[in-house]
Amino acid sequence: MTVEQAFTERMDEGELMNCMRCGFCLPSCPTYIQTGGDEVHSPRGRIAMMKAVHDGLTPLTDEMTNSLDVCLGCRACEPVCPAGVQYGHLLEEARTIIQDYKKPSVKEKVVRRTVLNELFPKNEQMNRAVGLVRFYQTSGLQKGIRKIGFLKLFPESMREMEKVLPAIPKRTRTDRKRLLATGEKKATVAFFQGCLMDTMFQETNQNTIRLLRSAGCDIVIPEGQGCCGALHGHAGEKEKAIEMAKRNIEAFEGMEADYIVLNAGGCGAYLAGYDHLLSQDMEWRERAARFKAKIRDFSSILIQHGFDERIRFKKRQHRVTYQDSCHLRNGMGVHHEPRQLIQMVEGADYVEMKNADGCCGSAGVYNLVQPEMSMQILDDKMKNVKEAAPGVIVTANPGCLLQMKLGIERAGLSGQVEAVHLADYLNND
């Protein structure tokens, strides 16, 4: 079978036809904007290409594949689509088909192999890798390497990323038994740790748990959970993603929890899409639907339990803004809650930055495989940051957080602006 035949067979025709080409998606699409209004790099254009290949009207050309590669997968086109086209699903299926048939470049292969197959599926590996980063940072190796200029061999964005990686805390074993709510108990939540959050951002996880407990949540942390599989799914590695989905569903199934809660928008939206991922599987479909129904971002749970009305944090006077996580906003529909939580902090002078709901260009491994577009988007984002002039940028997803740190570095704002995760921000000075 050819890749074109696979498009005919596997792409969801109903969903393709659901796009009525009105163009309402265009102003929301970061790559359409960045390319000066090039329809090739718009959701409508991409769907037209998928459909034309599906309909057997054209072979899949390199330019078409490139158009799909350049898509951030931010899904900003979904909430603005009156027809309700599930663009993310179409993109993922198209990428999976292309991945099944096309040879990736050597550079892409290396990134894929190390990041997708080795690092993310295996938490132990992630521990070790992040442990290495810590060793690298604390042993003096970092200084040495920077001096030799070894990093010049890597793309600019990766080199800069190295500078902004957070200082990795020494790994502490999380106590896996039940953690009790502080004060009156209102709900039991099962905590999804995530792979990156559990290693590089351990402290953020601990802070999230602390906040949830003070909102009246008992916390259980199921054993056996792992990476959500989003990076794999978005990159067209569907089989791998399914494997990880099943593992997570199994791990959380036995828990008597009201909600499954996490603090990474990218993972959350993916977990909430497990039912679609497993829709072809009669046995797992139902289990995935039950799992999905419980997924919540921690900010929603805090607001739901009146946390913002009961708890007050005090910080010294500062100007603060919020950068949406695309998948938290467009995938899970959560965007009021983080803003509401920030504004409850005493001393917070909240300012909404222009285009705060636009992607920052991080988009999973996008900043590694599409560095040019990613940096173009990021540099535009930083112009808006400069205009809003905050001292703090709050985000709700690890990828966005690292990207914002990188943006601060690139814009020469280090020392004036800091980027923090919402869970770390919600604290007293």
Residues at the interface with other proteins (CB under 8 A): 14, 17-18, 20-24, 26-27, 36-40, 42, 45, 48-49, 51-52, 55, 57-59, 61, 63-64, 66-67, 81-84
* Closer to other proteins by Cβ: residue 22 or 110: 22
Shortest Å distance, C-beta 68 to other proteins: 10
CA dihedral 322, 329, 201, 385 (to 10 degrees): -30
Shortest Å distance, C-beta 64 to other proteins: 5
d(C-alpha 320, C-alpha 2), whole Å: 52
Shortest Å distance, C-beta 37 to other proteins: 4
Helix (H) or strand (E) holding 297: strand 295-297
d(C-alpha 206, C-alpha 209), whole Å: 5
How many CB atoms are located within 10 Å of the residue 238 CB?
19
Judge contact between 404 and 395, C-beta under 8 A.
yes
* Closer to other proteins by Cβ: residue 125 or 355: 355
d(C-alpha 42, C-alpha 26), whole Å: 6
Tokens 């074993």, located at residue: 173
* Closer to other proteins by Cβ: residue 79 or 155: 79
Shortest Å distance, C-beta 49 to other proteins: 6
101: tokens are 């048939």
d(C-alpha 156, C-alpha 406), whole Å: 11
* Closer to other proteins by Cβ: residue 36 or 415: 36
Shortest Å distance, C-beta 129 to other proteins: 37
Measuring CA to CA, which residue among 253, 140, 138, 234 is closest to residue 190? Answer: 253
Tokens 């290495």, located at residue: 132
* Closer to other proteins by Cβ: residue 82 or 415: 82
* Closer to other proteins by Cβ: residue 17 or 110: 17
Shortest Å distance, C-beta 55 to other proteins: 6
Shortest Å distance, C-beta 335 to other proteins: 14
* Closer to other proteins by Cβ: residue 82 or 149: 82
d(C-alpha 31, C-alpha 37), whole Å: 8
* Closer to other proteins by Cβ: residue 102 or 128: 102
Strands (DSSP E) found in 351-410? 392-395
Shortest Å distance, C-beta 388 to other proteins: 18
* Closer to other proteins by Cβ: residue 68 or 262: 68
212: tokens are 């949830």
Could you write out the DSSP letters of every residue in 76-99?
TTTTT-TT---HHHHHHHHHHHHH
Within 274-335, residue ranges assigned H as helices are 274-277, 282-293, 298-304, 307-310, 326
Shortest Å distance, C-beta 102 to other proteins: 15
d(C-alpha 99, C-alpha 3), whole Å: 10
